[in-house]
Chain A
Amino acid sequence: MLTIENLTVCYKKQEPVLKGLSLSMETGKAHGFAGLNGAGKTTLLNAIYGFIAPTAGQIVYNNQQVKRRDVAYLEAENYFYPYMTGREYLSLFPEGKAAFDIERWQRLFALPPDEITENYSTGMRKKLALLAVLKQDKPILILDEPFNGLDLESSFLLTTILKQLQNKGTTLIVTSHIYESLTGCCNHIHYLSDGIIKRSYPQEAFHTLKEQLQSAIDQQAGQLISQLL
């Protein structure tokens, strides 16, 4: 069980981005996070990974403070060292308990292993970063916008991989701005607003999230959009 208790995060002396956020995440489940831009999704992920020290509160995994060795993180923006090949990049990451067959994984994702990453497309870069995360085989995977830039086939492939990881007992924390991607792989979706979780939706209530968001947009912006268009 991954438990976030009363988590508050402030950047320097500014307003807190996360304001006493609390949440429990069951092991082997996928938790999606949605919310407006700037709602604090990435800050929450950074705090779980340990990039940011929380101002208050704590994150506990299996009754202990979460350690970075338990977590692998796919950042939203992926940067690769100039003139590095895909194979070199992957070989730098530590292997988990299971043996990671670079060749077979790269074939599955249609990535040329000995090509320089500068020659990769945006989607290929995302896939390479994803493989690095999978290679580490950690019990908690944090995926910030994993579907961005992926082609249709790769999106389905990723969804299948994420489901199989859940079956293996990996806890997944996913953010996405694409509704279908999030609902396709998550067991719970948490809606973040103003630094707290406004609502949590279990799988059977995902349609409620869509309806609520759509009706809110229609009410607040429908008239303005019709005027602008």
Chain B
Amino acid sequence: MEKNKINTRFLRFRIGQMGKFFREIPLPYLAVLLMMAGAVFYVLHSFLESPAGRTICGGALMAGVCFVHLRRKDYHFICMADERAWRVFFADYLLFSTPFLLLLLWRGGWLVAMGVVAGYAGVSLIRQPFRQVAKGFPVPAFIPFRAFEMRTLFRRNGGLLVVSYLGAFAGLLLPYASFAPLWFCVVFVTGGFRDCESIALLNAYEMGTKRFLHYKIRLNAGLYSLAAMPPCLIYTLIRPGDWRLALGFFVLAVLNIVLFIVSKYALYEPGKKIVSGQMSAGLSLMGILVPFLAPVTLFLLIRYYLMARRNLTPYLYAYN
């Protein structure tokens, strides 16, 4: 294959992927997504008015791109496929930030835009080393082996979880401030239910579908409840008037953990990573903060629970 054509093919492939992504979003979700994009556009539009805002946004974008570049999983594949891999990375970053760059140019930030583009070229040249997976964050002994999603999640994102959790306690000094870090904890925890275990591991529990699902829910939701209860209780004690808010947050957070557990088994495929249902899951997580989205969580919970019962039956039928 001619090397100079590979770059264009990657670009076409990316555009194709983007088109597929938008085509597969159901209409109601697309409408919500467009509304959210509109809100972001409005905020950015006002923020980019001042030179300071433009510089901050440009810097944040560069930091984000740098982070993505150092962690992207197709880095070594692209390096093998194309001698000038940096051009593929550069095109990727340029393509995905085009709306932001256009907005930046519209708001007169051409200097920052040029800096960002030059920065992309620099970032694209940074080499990602081959590395073995590190040992990870130490896992607390009180998390049982059977809650392996929680254990592996802690090993992966333990630092972020601990910082967020401590942030929730620090936030007790201000009204509502504890809920943002606790919400991040929920987002991290739910992220632990994206990978599917092997059939061997699924069968290691020696339980039928219903018993298995209920056991997983009890175990993981129980662990999260134990962790989230102290900050919520202390918040209620400090601000008794806000007890409904603390209770509502707690219940929605636990429901979201349950939703992610059942959605994992509703979409379970042995050894695969769950990629579908991200949009609805994201909306459900937003439902903790935006009360009018809360019914989405309940609706999805029932839907995925029934789906999980159906989907797991062939794998566990010998125990049913």
Which residues from A are CB-within-8-Å of B199? 51, 75
* A119 touches B (CB below 8 Å): yes
* B130 touches A (CB below 8 Å): no
* B195 touches A (CB below 8 Å): yes
**Nearest-CB distance from B196 to chain A (Å)?**
9
A129 to B199, CA, bound (A): 12
Which residues from B are CB-within-8-Å of A118? 132-133
Known: A68-B203, A81-B195, A119-B133. A50 touches B148 (CB 8 A): no
Number of A residues with CB within 8 Å of any CB on chain B: 28
**Nearest-CB distance from B70 to chain A (Å)?**
18
Please encode chain B, from 188 to 214, with 1 for each CB lying within 8 Å of some chain A CB and 0 for all others: 000000010111110110100000000
A75 to B271, CA, bound (A): 12
Are B200's CB and A81's CB within 8 A?
A: no
Known: A82-B152, A116-B155. A92 touches B132 (CB 8 A): no
Within 8 A of A (CB), among B257-299: 270-271
A79 to B269, CA, bound (A): 12
Which residues from B are CB-within-8-Å of A25? none
**Stretch of A37-45, A83-91, A191-199 that contacts chain B:** A83-91
* A94 touches B (CB below 8 Å): yes
Within 8 A of B (CB), among A54-94: 67-69, 73, 75, 77-84, 88-89, 91-94
Which residues from B are CB-within-8-Å of A143? none
**Pick the contact of A79 from B198, B206, B317, B318 — CB < 8 Å?**
B198
* A53 touches B (CB below 8 Å): yes
Which residues from A are CB-within-8-Å of B201? 81, 89, 92
Residue of B nearest to A71 (CB): B318
Please encode chain B, from 146 to 163, with 1 for each CB lying within 8 Å of some chain A CB and 0 for all others: 101101110110000000
* A132 touches B (CB below 8 Å): yes
**Pick the contact of B270 from A67, A69, A79, A115 — CB < 8 Å?**
A79
**Nearest-CB distance from B126 to chain A (Å)?**
23
Known: A81-B195, A88-B145. A129 touches B206 (CB 8 A): no
**Pick the contact of A83 from B145, B156, B317 — CB < 8 Å?**
B156
**Nearest-CB distance from A138 to chain B (Å)?**
11
Known: A80-B198, A81-B195, A92-B201. A50 touches B151 (CB 8 A): no
Within 8 A of B (CB), among A91-145: 91-94, 115-116, 118-119, 129, 132
Are B155's CB and A83's CB within 8 A?
A: yes
Are B200's CB and A94's CB within 8 A?
A: no
Are B204's CB and A68's CB within 8 A?
A: no
* B319 touches A (CB below 8 Å): yes
Which residues from B are CB-within-8-Å of A132? 200, 204
Known: A88-B148, A92-B145, A116-B133. A82 touches B198 (CB 8 A): no
Which residues from A are CB-within-8-Å of B318? 50, 67-68
- Total A-B pairs in contact (CB under 8 Å)? 67
**Nearest-CB distance from A90 to chain B (Å)?**
9
Known: A83-B156, A129-B200. A92 touches B136 (CB 8 A): no
Please encode chain A, from 151 to 165, with 1 for each CB lying within 8 Å of some chain B CB and 0 for all others: 000000000000000
Are A92's CB and B198's CB within 8 A?
A: no
**Nearest-CB distance from A15 to chain B (Å)?**
21
Are A83's CB and B206's CB within 8 A?
A: no
Are B145's CB and A119's CB within 8 A?
A: no
Are B197's CB and A94's CB within 8 A?
A: no
**Nearest-CB distance from A54 to chain B (Å)?**
13
* B135 touches A (CB below 8 Å): yes
Within 8 A of B (CB), among A21-52: 50-51
Which residues from B are CB-within-8-Å of A77? 271
Which residues from B are CB-within-8-Å of A82? 152, 156, 195
A50 to B199, CA, bound (A): 12
Residue of A nearest to B154 (CB): A83
Show 28 A/B contacts (Cβ-Cβ < 8 Å), sorted by A: A50-B317, A50-B318, A68-B318, A69-B206, A77-B271, A79-B198, A81-B149, A81-B152, A81-B198, A81-B201, A82-B152, A83-B133, A83-B136, A84-B151, A84-B152, A92-B145, A92-B146, A92-B204, A93-B204, A94-B206, A116-B135, A116-B136, A116-B155, A118-B132, A118-B133, A119-B132, A119-B133, A129-B200
Binding site for B on A (CB under 8 A): 50-51, 53, 67-69, 73, 75, 77-84, 88-89, 91-94, 115-116, 118-119, 129, 132
6 nearest A-B residue pairs (beta carbon): A79-B271, A68-B318, A83-B152, A50-B318, A118-B133, A79-B198
Binding site for A on B (CB under 8 A): 132-133, 135-136, 145-146, 148-149, 151-153, 155-156, 195, 197-201, 203-204, 206, 270-271, 315, 317-319
